[in-house]
Amino acid sequence: MARPVVHWCDDCQLRIDDVADGLVAREELFNGRVILRVVHRPEVCPRWRHKLAHGQGYENLPRRVAGRDSFPLREFLGPFGMLRVLASIAAEDYPEREGMELLKRLQVPDYLAFSNAVDEAVREGVLGPEADPLHPTLWELRTVLEWRAGLARADEEFLDVFEPPTVAKRKKPDKGGGDDE
């Protein structure tokens, strides 16, 4: 059985327990760069809900929160959600790097924990300097998560099927022509 992906709010840093409470927000920064964020709906976000209390409207929210484009998180999950993100990247609605990070975050269990720990893992020598944090192998994901959790082995249901990348060694042919007599 596959482990579920846990979603964390970029605004309040807390877990989004109900997918219906989550959004994918597209924000354009002052320099024109587009970022994609996974967030709670403002009405349920611990960081923003007090600003909407007592019937006050979205005008009480910071401009970047009130003015961002947002879409239900549910529309970005599963195979159809993956296709939606890929189509948005192809249409150049989302920058490629941001879109690919969103895909990994929404589709790969523990990817966010990996991405938060990978730089330290390289500094500590857990991964070599050739490790690419933007395009990790499953072995690198496993190694960092095991190191981070201090586990002797990874969760069997998810990670046991993956082995570290190896270079196959070819056997040299036997020049003796067979068994010794």
Cα 67 from Cα 10, distance rounded (Å): 16
Q: Does the pLDDT of residue 66 top 90, yes or no?
A: no
Give 37's strand partners. 25
Confidence band of 23 (pLDDT split at 50, 70, 90)? very high
Tell me the residue ranges of DSSP E strands in the chain. 22-28, 34-40, 69-72
Asked whether 34 and 94 are in contact (CB, 8 A), the reply is: yes
pTM confidence score: 0.68
Q: Which tokens sit at 112?
A: 């966010």
Instruction: State the pLDDT at residue 141.
Output: 85
Q: What is the mean pLDDT of the chain?
A: 78
Instruction: State the pLDDT at residue 21.
Output: 92
Confidence band of 2 (pLDDT split at 50, 70, 90)? low
Q: Does the pLDDT of residue 17 top 70, yes or no?
A: yes
Q: Does the pLDDT of residue 172 top 60, yes or no?
A: no
Q: Does the pLDDT of residue 43 top 60, yes or no?
A: yes
Asked whether 38 and 1 are in contact (CB, 8 A), the reply is: no
Confidence band of 165 (pLDDT split at 50, 70, 90)? very low
Instruction: State the pLDDT at residue 1.
Output: 52
Confidence band of 30 (pLDDT split at 50, 70, 90)? confident
Confidence band of 90 (pLDDT split at 50, 70, 90)? very high
Asked whether 49 and 82 are in contact (CB, 8 A), the reply is: no
The pLDDT tens digits of the residues spanning 112-159 come to 888 888 888 888 888 888 888 778 888 888 888 888 877 434 444 455
Q: Which tokens sit at 63?
A: 């401009």
Q: Does the pLDDT of residue 81 top 90, yes or no?
A: yes
Cα 39 from Cα 147, distance rounded (Å): 28
Which residue type occupies 94? Y
Instruction: State the pLDDT at residue 175.
Output: 54
